[in-house]
Amino acid sequence: MPAAAGVVLSLADIAARLGGDVFGDPQTLICQVATLASAGEGEIGFLTNLKYKNQLKTTKAAAVIVSAEFADAVEIPRIVTKNPYAYYARLAALLNPRAAMTPGVHPSACSASKLPSDVTVGPNASIGLDVTLGQGVVIHASCVLGDGVKVGAGSVLYPNVSIYAGCEIGQNAIIHSGVVIGADGFGFAPDAGQWVKIPQIGRVIIGNDVEIGASTTVDRGALDDTLIGDGCKIDNQIQIGHNCVIGKHCVIAACAAIAGSVTLQDNVIVGGAAMIAGHVTIASGAVISGGSLVMKNITKPGQYTSVFPLEEHSHWLHNAAQIRHLVKLAERVSELEKTLNNINIKD
């Protein structure tokens, strides 16, 4: 299927823009990316997972993107590059540019701030006092920006995004539908059997080139700000609690829950549905497996997992029953070791 914007490029054109080495006819025309299995005329496939390498022999693609290891594994035209997956991503963006928006403020939108002439504001959007929008910002329908909000140049807010007062978003951010940035953190003080609300007076500060998926929530800080660093990619339906500090280029997959005052250092990867308890610090380069529960600091990079592998329910019940006795078993082993040591000393 041709790219929606009608972009057609030769392999030579693509390599000139994105790099890589072209093997075969450099004038082969490409209009879209596709999988090896589904690609057809005018489409370019890519190999990033070795379990699909046999599809190189059967693909109907006009060309493929491969690493040097597979440069000679196909006869059709190909682009050889060190990182086929990243190359595919950049090419997909090249062939599918974001639809151009016509600057202007929709008549049904309401703004208490003076807006630049080159921004786009959709129907029923609401923009408070002292809001600052950078060059080319796009605010889609029914978004709400509270007083004092700042949104950097080139950023896009899709429909129904809510940004509470005082929060800041950097340049070239993509904020998907239903995201809430700056709601109150979960802060309550116990007092005589009741809960006293703690005012949340911090903000949320988001860096440049950050993408946040649909229906994700980022709480404002109780005192200090909640911070999200440059280049972070945050999936759908994620909770980030108050006063969290998320370092640069972290990736957080869907349905993860991060409690308050957690620090993720740079380049941390958090798998889907993982849970991180409050006041935990996770070292740069750490990878948290999906579904894991993190209850303590992680001080060095590596992959960490805290979930049982999937197995039949009856086996799981048996293993879970044994785990309940691990403390007693450890105590018995310790006593046996002491006894053996005493025997060895006497001998």
Give the global pTM: 0.89
**Burial class for 94, CB neighbours closer than 10 Å (0-12, 13-18, 19+):** middle
Residue 4 is predicted with a pLDDT of: 46
Q: What is the CATH number of the domain that holds 83?
A: 3.40.1390.10
Residue 319 is predicted with a pLDDT of: 87
Distance, in Å, from the CA atom of 301 to the CA atom of 315, rounded to the nearest integer, reads: 32
> 204 and 150 in one domain?
yes
Distance of CA 61 to the CA centre of its chain: 30
Q: What is the CATH number of the domain that holds 131?
A: 2.160.10.10
Distance, in Å, from the CA atom of 293 to the CA atom of 252, rounded to the nearest integer, reads: 14
Last residue of a domain, one of 41, 75, 95: 95
> 119 and 15 in one domain?
no
Element (H, E) at 12: helix 11-18
- Structural domain includes residue 4: no
> 282 and 176 in one domain?
yes
- Structural domain includes residue 223: yes
Burial per residue of 213-224, b for 16 or more beta-carbon CB atoms within 10 angstroms, e otherwise: bbebbbbbbbee
Residue 325 is predicted with a pLDDT of: 87
> 213 and 288 in one domain?
yes
Distance, in Å, from the CA atom of 258 to the CA atom of 185, rounded to the nearest integer, reads: 12
> 159 and 300 in one domain?
yes
Distance, in Å, from the CA atom of 240 to the CA atom of 262, rounded to the nearest integer, reads: 9
> 119 and 86 in one domain?
no
User: Any idea which residues carry the catalytic annotation?
Assistant: 242
Q: Which domain holds residue 111?
A: 104-304
> 216 and 265 in one domain?
yes
- How many domains does one find in the chain? 3
Residue 324 is predicted with a pLDDT of: 86
End-to-end CA distance of the chain: 83
Distance, in Å, from the CA atom of 177 to the CA atom of 330, rounded to the nearest integer, reads: 51
Name residues of the chain where pLDDT drops below 50.
1-4
> 153 and 214 in one domain?
yes
> 294 and 159 in one domain?
yes
- Structural domain includes residue 3: no
Last residue of a domain, one of 95, 129, 156: 95
> 144 and 23 in one domain?
no
Residue 1 is predicted with a pLDDT of: 36
Largest separation between any pair of C-alpha atoms in the chain: 95
Pairing of strands 162-163, 21-23: unpaired
Asked whether the beta carbons of 207 and 228 are under 8 A apart, the reply is: yes
Residue 3 is predicted with a pLDDT of: 44
> 203 and 292 in one domain?
yes
- Over residues 263-311, the pLDDT tens digits come to 999 999 999 999 999 999 999 999 999 999 999 999 999 999 998 888 9
